[in-house]
Amino acid sequence: MANFWQKWRLSPEVKAVLDKAPGVVFPGTKDEVLALAMGGQDYVFEVNYTVPGKGETLEATVVKCRNGLSVNFPEPHMRRRDPVCMFIGDNAPTDKPRFNEAFPQYKFEDVRRDTFAWLSQQKLAVICTYIGGQETGLFGLLIAPENAGCFCGALADIQGLVPPSDLPKTFAPDAIIYLAPVFRHTHFNGRQVVVNNRLPNLHEVFSYNLYPGPSAKKGIYSVLLDIGEREQWLTLHGAAVQVVTPYDNITTILHEGASGSGKSEMLEYAHRQTDGSLLLGVNKVTKENLSVSMDQTCLLRPVTDDMAISHPHDQKNNPRLVVRDAEQAWFIRINHITHYGTDPKLERACIHPNEPLLFLNIDGRPGSTALLWEHIEDSVGKPCPNPRVVLPRQLDVDVVNSPVEVDFRSFGVRAPLCTAQNPTYGILGMLHVLPPALAWLWRLAAPRGDANPSILTKGSSLVTEGVGTFWPFATGKRVNYANLLLDQIVSTPQTRYVLLPNQHIGAWKVGFMPQWLVREFLARRGAAKFKPERLDAARCTLLGYIPDQIKIEGTTLPDEFLRVETQPEVGVAAYDAGAKILTDFFHTEIKNYLQPELSRLGQDIINCCLEGGDLEDYKKLLPMTY
């Protein structure tokens, strides 16, 4: 088996890294990866690297718990993804910042060579994974320091580990991640940096930080988006779920949006209060609480948590969008789980798992059980907003392993508090039904929303994540993805579009409850169309239509949760001020897509918005299936 990688189709420089390294291991099972992560220690392993001028520097601490490994990072800013951490190392077309422009003091070719030189001096771990699932036929390699087993474990779980013995002798990877955490200190002043280098037959990802979010998770997303851009298909940023009513009717919802917009929550059952009721919201002005009762909710069959492949082999001219999962495990944010009993199903799966799990930013103690609600603190009394667990999808007995047809594509928005005294864009009601043309515009503007827990941001102003909210991970041209999204919408006319807020509805603090209740409402309606006379145009055109009422199991939800301008704490003037904030934001962002490469239909839809078109104008451009 010695040097068996020499027969792999790798570049001479990559083979040289493996040849020169003082040791190389090729873990082929999860147990082997977890053993690497513990570095031969029984309960606590510190991941250190020698940094010139700083000496031994701690990057992470790995603790062995009864139910898995708890990984923590000493620096708070390394516990979540920096929104500006991806750079392009090649000269192929892109709208993203190029490495040589962002770091003029270096040439990427030199940093790449230095990375290989550093890796060749380390004991290495090399793992092979699928990319986007076995169905894609794509494979990736990770070349990492041997003591970075926690990173290896995250990637192996998320994409699926492939034992070296299962690979052909002339194996050729489609992507390689090179992990060199020390470079963030030596080259990048401690910041997160991930460089994508698109070679003719290989996508290289250089990860210069140990937190797996930007590279083991989103770096692979970049690979899928790059391949899809070339081959004309998309990997959507969304969670899909089959919602099964008490009468065995199935409605499939794909919920898209930025991090924190409710994707993972779309797979969760509604959180109940002690008496079994559902807390719809708390009025932040009057302090009133409003609860609703629902004895029986729908069964949830998860399909995807974050990355949904829409591949031509699955679509086959189906008038509904068809998606399947691009991951084998889900990188679930659990900041909302603050006490026992918040999400019994997830808590049970993580406290008594069938296999060891990987926890990040959880205060796990040696030999104890890592608990989802015990988040590490960024500072005294301030819990980290981005605790995570990597949960293999196979541990969910209800998970769907086949492609599914999507009935509704929902788009989630983290909405801020909106009152007459402090008008904001938090004017969205519980449910907005969108014409397809307007649904496309929402995916172009793609607001990140208020108080995002997963990403390093400042303030609560509107910030875009761009096309389909996957733009932060894409490497190519913005307009190409806009065209692909529009073509997808045009070719799947039987999939319908809705807009769902979370966190706030006007003056009410609501969390994700509106999303969970609307999920129940849409599932009970199933294939039934909204009658046009039962839909009212929203006061703000960007918000499409509002149902005249929402009734679930005999309970009619208050009208002020549908029409925010009717809330006494908000009123028409504050609503209109919020509508202007939203409209100005849309106009600013969608102008960027008016490029010659944009399709004629796309240009017409954007101009309709810029010129103040109404809902009938949007429907003339692209028919609406109610």
pLDDT tens digits for 425-450?
999 999 999 999 999 999 999 998 77
Amino acid of residue 496? R
What kind and span of H or E run contains 126?
A: strand 123-130
Residues written for the chain: 626
Instruction: Decide: helix, strand or coil at residue 177.
Output: strand
> Could you say which residues of the chain have pLDDT below 50?
1, 456-457, 459
Q: What is the pTM of this model?
A: 0.94
CB-based contacts of 469, cutoff 8 Å, min separation 6? 237, 256, 257, 258, 261, 443, 446, 448
**Cα distances (Å, whole numbers) of residue 470 to 198, 259, 359, 569:** 18, 10, 24, 35
**Cβ-count burial of 285 within 10 angstroms (0-12 exposed, 13-18 middle, 19+ buried)?**
middle
Nearest Cα neighbor of 589 from 506, 482, 501, 486 is: 482
pLDDT at residue 295, rounded to an integer:
86
Gap between the Cα atoms of 338 and 330, Å rounded: 20
Write out the DSSP string of 400-432. --S-EEESEEEEEEEPPP--SSS--S----S-E
Q: Which domains does the chain have, with CATH numbers?
A: 4-231 (3.40.449.10), 235-320+407-621 (3.90.228.20)
pLDDT at residue 554, rounded to an integer:
87
User: By the 8 A CB rule, do 370 and 81 touch?
Assistant: no
**Cβ-count burial of 553 within 10 angstroms (0-12 exposed, 13-18 middle, 19+ buried)?**
middle
pLDDT at residue 1, rounded to an integer:
47
pLDDT at residue 465, rounded to an integer:
87
Kindly tell me the sign of the dihedral angle through the C-alpha atoms of 207, 213, 216, 217.
Answer: negative
Could you report the per-residue pLDDT of 555-566, keeping only the tens digit for each? 999 999 999 999
Bridge-based pairing of strands 299-304 and 234-244 is antiparallel
Percent of residues, the chain, with pLDDT higher than 90: 88
Nearest Cα neighbor of 594 from 608, 580, 579, 614 is: 608
Could you report the per-residue pLDDT of 462-486, keeping only the tens digit for each? 888 889 999 999 999 999 999 999 9
